[in-house]
Structure formats: C-alpha cells, structure tokens
Amino acid sequence: MDFLVNPSLLHSATVAVPGDKSISHRALMLGSIAEGSTKITGFLAGEDCLATLAAFRAMGVRIDARDSTTLLIDGAGRGGLLKPGSDLDLGNSGTAMRLMCGLLAGQAFDCTLKGDASLSTRPMNRVVDPLVKMGARIDSNSGKPPLTLYGGQTLRGIEYRLPVASAQVKSCLLLAGLYAQGETRIFEPAITRDHTERMLRAMGADVETTSGWIQLAASQLLTGTAIEVPGDLSSAAFIMLAALLADDAEVLIEGVGVNPTRSGVIDVLRGMGADIELLNCREPGFEPIADIRVRSSRLVGGPVDPGLVSLAIDEFPVLFVAAAAASGVTRFSGIGELRVKESDRIAAMASGLRTMGIQVDETADGATVVGGTFAGGEVDSYGDHRIAMALTIAAMSASGPVTIRDVDTVATSYPGFADQMTEIGASLRILPAGATA
C-alpha cells in the first residue's frame, strides 16, 4: 500500500505510542528461557515482535496472550526449548535474527532462521564470526540469511571487542554467553542501548559493566519476572518531529521509555533548538520512563556530535527530516551503520528529500543536509518502515501532496501509525499499491 499525504495542520493533543520494539523482543526471548513465569505488559503487537513470538511457540514455549499487549510466558528454562518442526521465519526483523543466533547457538538441536526478501540481504557475519569463535557451527548464504545453526556444540566464553558499536551484536553474544563455559567479556567502542543487560539483571543474571566492558559470568540461570514495556521512543520520535514542525502545537506523549543509552534523538533535537521537556520521570521496573512534552519550535542546523550516533541510530530518518526543515546546514558523520539497515537509510532519505526539493549530499558514512522547504511529489520508502514514517512527517509540512510508496512495513514497528497521525491532524489517505490520487 501507499500513503497520500496532503499539507496538514497538526493540533495539540495527548497521545500514547505502541510498546518498545527492542524491549518486546528481548522480553519474549529471555522470558522463554527463564525458569518460571514472566508477565509482559505493554508488548508491541507489531509484525516483527509477532514473528519472534511465533518462533518461540514453535520451539514449545507456552505463551498466553491475555490481550494484544499482555503476555504470560511459561518459561521453558535454559535447556527446555524444543526443535521446531520447520524453519523459523523472522519476517523483516534483523533484531530477532541476530539475537536469536546467539540464543540458539547453544541449543541441542539444529535450526534454520530465515526472513523476507529484505532481511535476506542483510549482513549477518557480524554475529556469525564471533559466535564461531565461541564454538558455534553456523552455515549462511555468503554471510546473509538463511542461517542454519547446528546443535550440540560446546560454547566457550570469549573476550571480544566489537569492531562497530552494535547493541544487536552485543546482545547476541550475551545470549550465547548464557550457554557458554567460562566468562563472556565484550568491549563496545561506544555506548549502545543496554536493554539486554538491564533485563538479564532483573532476571537474576550476574552482569557487570565497567569502562566499556560488559562481563557475563558462566552458567547463568534466569528467573521469570514482571516486565513493563514502555512506549517506544523510536515511534514517539515521529510525533515529536510532527509537533516541532507544526505552526503552533503542543503534544504530550505519555509513558515513553527514556533509557539514557538510546535517548540521543532528544539530545540532538534539543541541540537544534527543539522545545522538549521530560515530565513525570519514573522507573517502575528496570527501564526509565517519562512523559514527553513537545512544543512547536524553530530548528537550526549545525554539525551533529558523532558521539551521539550510537544513542540515536534508529532515529536518524527523523533527524534527516529535522535537518531538512531547519535553517542552515546540518552535517551528519559516523552513521555508516545506516547503510545496512532495512534499507540503505542514508541513500533512501537523501533520495526522498531531494525529490521533495531539499539539497542532500552523501558521504560514505554521513550526509550534509541544507535546510529548505518541502515540495510535493512521489517518493519511495524502499520498503523501510522508518523511511516511510519519516517522509510522512515531512509531507505534512510540504507545499503540495506527497505520495509515499511501499509503506506496508510500517506495521512492523508502529501498528496504527496512519490512524494516530490522522487523529492529531495529518491529512493522510491509504491507497492501494501503485494507485494514483
């Protein structure tokens, strides 16, 4: 399907966004291999997380859906997963595939992980190589999915320095470390989201973090617990941007996760002049949560601190649009990781913004964006949910209608996105794929 977006007048509102995707994935995985029951509230019932849920059910885990956002998991324990009857299809989810590689590397059975056409093009050697060093045996399609993991291998803890800061690779190795003999030590060159470490500790694991090193003791057993999934900051970022670019709006987004290892988008936007305030800050479980109040603001471009990249890696499509709407020039560097996401996000955003009249110059690991005025036109999301949503927000401020092609994947992370944007003032229609207005 496609979106047709006309110039829109956003109005003030109080909203909530769906649950955090990263935390929902991890809660399913850790709850499934824990002893006892785990109750998840606020679960993201998006396509990516539902693929993970289906995979663990296929491995014999009993997961009771009390409603669309509340799950009760009867944990199978560290060695209780069963061989699935067929390949595990993880759809579009790179997070699920990379993390499950670590979890499945220490199982007694063989298993094949596959995905859709997009996921099948994404690099997996970044997890395969260190897992092989731990003793895993894995076949791939020239470093890409499908991946076949062979059971019955003896894993050993290793000391591993991540070549590139990556929460997915770090989490993969920590999950493998639960099944390894000896301590697992990982060094990350920059801070990345620490949801896995927090959740492991909440379930009783011995995890230490010191000066960039994460250490996991051997032979860990997990105990089920209650997990409250906060609203996803990556999803909230789209509403934040819409409010910032509006003429005169104030939006309150309730119950959003503001973990400091992934709140870089707030820091970058504030540095551009955004009026963003965190209210009612609390930590009911092991993740910090706040209500986010955003008021329309005049944004000013400038160089973005590369040190914030790992804290905002999923929000750069939003930041590209913010840069395009800001006065002056914004320079991004150190964001080469975006080229191996669901799409090449640097190229995808550059293409979409250029079509809408914005000057964007790419480099291998960055881009320069010259602020301007959005024009109407037709843009391609390249089947990437974050590109589709970021261009939707840009289109709301355009001088004419914008058609955004291939937006079906929005449901992977933000089910109900179109309806919610319409409720707060977006002039948005859903069209059949390839249709004309």
Strands (E), 107-248: 111-114, 138-141, 144-149, 159-161, 184-187, 207-210, 213-216, 226-228
What residues are paired with 427 via a beta bridge? 6
Strands (E), 300-426: 329-332, 359-363, 366-370, 377-380, 402-405
Q: Which residues, including other chains, have CB under 8 Å from residue 255's CB and lie 6 or more apart?
A: 16, 230, 231, 289, 291
Pairing relationship of beta strands 159-161 and 207-210 according to DSSP bridges: unpaired
Could you give the CA distance from residue 395 to residue 390 in angstroms, rounded to a whole number? Answer: 9
Could you give the CA distance from residue 395 to residue 391 in angstroms, rounded to a whole number? Answer: 6
- Is there a contact between 386 and 344 (Cβ–Cβ < 8 Å)? no
Could you give the CA distance from residue 385 to residue 44 in angstroms, rounded to a whole number? Answer: 15
- Nearest CA to 175 out of 24, 28, 30, 74 is that of 30
Burial zone of 432 (CB within 10 Å; 0-12 exposed, 13-18 middle, 19+ buried): exposed
Residue 138 dihedral angles phi and psi, to the nearest 5°? -140, 135
- Is there a contact between 293 and 343 (Cβ–Cβ < 8 Å)? no
- Is there a contact between 418 and 430 (Cβ–Cβ < 8 Å)? yes
Furthest CA-CA distance within the chain: 61
Residues acting as catalytic residues:
314
* Tokens representing residue 180 in the block: 């390894």
What residues are paired with 335 via a beta bridge? none
